[in-house]
Amino acid sequence: MMNPIKNIEINPLKASPSLGAAIFFLGLKNAVVLMHGAVGCASFDKVTLTKHFRENIPIVTTALNEYGAILGGTDFLLSGIKNIYEKMKPDFIGIASSGLTETSGEDIAGIIGDFKEKQGLPFSKLIYAGTPDYKGSLEDGYIQAMLALLEDFSDKEPYKTFKKSKKLTMSVNVFCPVSFTPQDFLELREAIGYFDLKPVMIPDLGLSLDGHLDERGYLQTTADGLGVKDMENIHNSEFNIVIGLSLGSVVKSVSELTGLKTYYFPNVCGLKNSDKLFDLLSELSGKEIPEKYKRQRRQLMDAYLDTHFYFLGKDIALALGIDLLDSFSMIYSEMGANLKVGISTKFSDDIKYRFLNFYEGDLDLLDNYRNVDLIVSNSNAGFYAKDFRIPLLKAGFPLIDEIGHGYKHYILYRGAVNLAVESANLLNKG
């Protein structure tokens, strides 16, 4: 009698682009994020990010009220910028817009551009990412912020003229996806360092949100991360590495904005793809692959053998952001695991063949898969896993009901061992 169409998100997997932009900005050193919207836009994000990273999260708001919403938010935005500057003098102010400020149709980029031109701030970089909440997802906002940062530093051409001659260490710019844990960032940094290359992680959530106790105690801005100096030198790097399925669309822009040759990996997970990365690093640096990683490669091969028994005849359901869905399904596919369903916030032709079923949608789609043997998803899927009595491997965003996810890593050989072992143990228990 009534329309049975499900035209509603029930337990969304998706988060908004403004949150993605905020996460990107948090990977900058001595930075503050300014959310241009009502107080809730900043507050909701701050709460979730604080719980996810278990760190102080410097996000503030332009606090738009009803007058600002109707008559325009310029004054709110500019006084927000000035107040941050006076109180904190950060190196970066990362500004993200919201559904509210974009709906009212103001030219925020223009306003900020004007402000920079006419007045500017002597010590702070203003980076603006246009992130209307009704358009795109977490990954899109992260990318917006990435491009905005690159554009801001793209006019540093002069450095290029006297480059390369006096350099002792070669630098490499590394662009990682929003799905990387702080430990993923640190692992990759270390691996690249083994080839006598200096990695410039853009952004660097490893240094900023790995949860280290800074000797300065509580800080109002990010304690560490990608610095202004690092950014000013990106054109002097040897090449770019871009990682992440979601970053596929920016490879060209990254290459153009930096003027460097760019190598792209949808993921650096599992045996094959880790091999590819190490081969590239070896080739470009002229150094042999270090013993440490040769060993880890052999360990992974052994771990695949040890754990694959637990996966035989078992079904796995994955509900993750597109980057992690790609990374994890890569590892599981190498082990021959049966991927019953993949759910993400975006459809992808590149990876759908790995799954029996593939959907773009919400966590509620799990309701149709009550008989799988393992669910891989974020904290919000906990309710379903508990209800169906299925073990849940918690990964992705947000992870708010358990502590320590920042220390986990799933990239390179050792990361694949981690996923294989954790999954096998859960399957064995279930």
Partner 1 sequence: MRITAKEEYFDEPACEHNGVAKDKKACKTATPGSSTGGCALDGAYIVLSPIKDALNIVHAPINCLGNSYNQRTSETAQRENYYMYGFTTAINENDLIFGSEDKLRQGIIYVFNRFKPKAVFIYNTCVPALTGEDIEGVSKELAAKLKIPVVPVFSQGFSGNKNLGNKIAGDALFTHIIGRKEPEIDLLSDYNINLIGEYNIKGELFLIKKALKKVGINVLSTITGDSTIEEIMYSHKAGLNVVVCSKALIYLARKMKEKYGLPYIEGSFFGLTSTNKTIMDIVNSIGDYELTCSAKKYIKIRTRNTEENIYEYKRFLTGKKALLYTGGVKSWSLISALNDLGMKVIATGVKKSTEEDKLRIKEIDKNGNIIMLDNGNPVNLIKIAREEQVDIILAGGRNQYTAIKSLIPFLDVNQERLNPYTSYEGMEFLAKQIYFELKNPLFKLLKESNINL
Residues of this chain, 54-73, that bind partner 1 according to CB under 8 A: 54-56, 58-66, 68-70
Nearer to partner 1, 104 or 255 (CB): 104
With 0-12 / 13-18 / 19 or more C-beta atoms within 10 angstroms meaning exposed / middle / buried, residue 311 is buried
What kind and span of H or E run contains 375?
strand 374-377
Nearer to partner 1, 42 or 427 (CB): 42
- Asked if 104 interacts with partner 1 (CB under 8 A), we say yes
Q: Which of 23, 28, 31, 42 binds partner 1 (CB under 8 A)?
A: 42
- Asked if 83 interacts with partner 1 (CB under 8 A), we say yes
Site string for partner 1, 362-381 (x = CB under 8 A): -----------------xx-
Buried b (16+ CB within 10 A) or exposed e, 60-79: bbbbbeeebbeebbbebbbe
- Asked if 44 interacts with partner 1 (CB under 8 A), we say yes
Do residues 172 and 192 touch, judged by C-beta distance below 8 A? yes
| Alpha-carbon dihedral 16, 17, 23, 24, rounded to 10 degrees | 170
Q: Restricting to residues 130-189, which ones interact with partner 1 according to CB under 8 A? A: 132-135, 137
What kind and span of H or E run contains 118?
helix 108-118
Nearer to partner 1, 4 or 286 (CB): 4
Distance CA 244, CA 235 (A): 22
- Among 385, 263, 258, smallest CA distance to 317 is for 385
- Asked if 335 interacts with partner 1 (CB under 8 A), we say no
- Asked if 119 interacts with partner 1 (CB under 8 A), we say no
Q: What is the total count of residues that contact partner 1 (CB under 8 A)?
A: 76
- Asked if 273 interacts with partner 1 (CB under 8 A), we say no
Nearer to partner 1, 77 or 300 (CB): 77
Q: Restricting to residues 198-257, which ones interact with partner 1 according to CB under 8 A? A: 213-215, 217-220
The region of 48-56, 111-119, 262-270, 318-326 touching partner 1 under the rule CB under 8 A is 48-56
Phi, psi of 290 (to 5 degrees): -65, 150
Q: Which of 21, 34, 188, 191 binds partner 1 (CB under 8 A)?
A: 34
Do residues 87 and 79 touch, judged by C-beta distance below 8 A? no
Q: Restricting to residues 374-413, which ones interact with partner 1 according to CB under 8 A? A: 379-380, 383, 400
- Asked if 9 interacts with partner 1 (CB under 8 A), we say yes
Do residues 204 and 185 touch, judged by C-beta distance below 8 A? yes
